[in-house]
Structure 1
Amino acid sequence: MADNLLLPKQNNDALIPDTVNYIEPSHTYDVDFRTDSQIRGYADKLRAMEQAIYKIINTERYQYIIYSWNYGIELQDLFGQPIPYVYAELQRRIEEALLNDDRITKVYNFDFSHEGGDVMVEFDVDTIYGTLQKIKKGVKGIV
Structure 2
Amino acid sequence: MENTKTFKIDFGKNRVLGFTDDLDALKQSIKMYLSVPRFEHIIFTRNYGHDFKKCIGESKEYVLGVAKRFVHECLSTDDRIIDVANFELSTENESLFIRFKITSIYGDYIETWEVAR
Unaligned runs of 5+ in 1: 1-22
Could you tell me how far 1:37 is from its partner in structure 2?
2.6
Matches within 5 A, 1:93-132: 93-132=70-109
Q: Distance in 2 between matches of 1:111 and 1:96?
A: 17
Could you tell me how far 1:121 is from its partner in structure 2?
1.0
User: 2:3 aligns to what?
Assistant: 25
User: 2:62 aligns to what?
Assistant: 85
Matched, 1:138 2:94: no
Q: What is the root-mean-square deviation in Å for CA atoms of aligned residues?
A: 1.2
Q: Distance in 2 between matches of 1:52 and 1:140?
A: 20
Could you tell me how far 1:84 is from its partner in structure 2?
2.2
The amino acid that maps onto 1:96 is: E
Unaligned runs of 5+ in 2: none
Indicate if the aligned counterparts of 1:125 and 1:131 stay in contact, CA closer than 8 A: yes
SS in 2 for 1:73: coil
The amino acid that maps onto 2:116 is: K
**TM-score in terms of structure 1 length:** 0.77
Could you tell me how far 1:123 is from its partner in structure 2?
1.0
**TM-score in terms of structure 2 length:** 0.93
List structure 1 segments (4+ residues) > 2 angstroms apart after TM superposition. Answer: none
Aligned residues: 117
SS in 1 for 2:31: helix
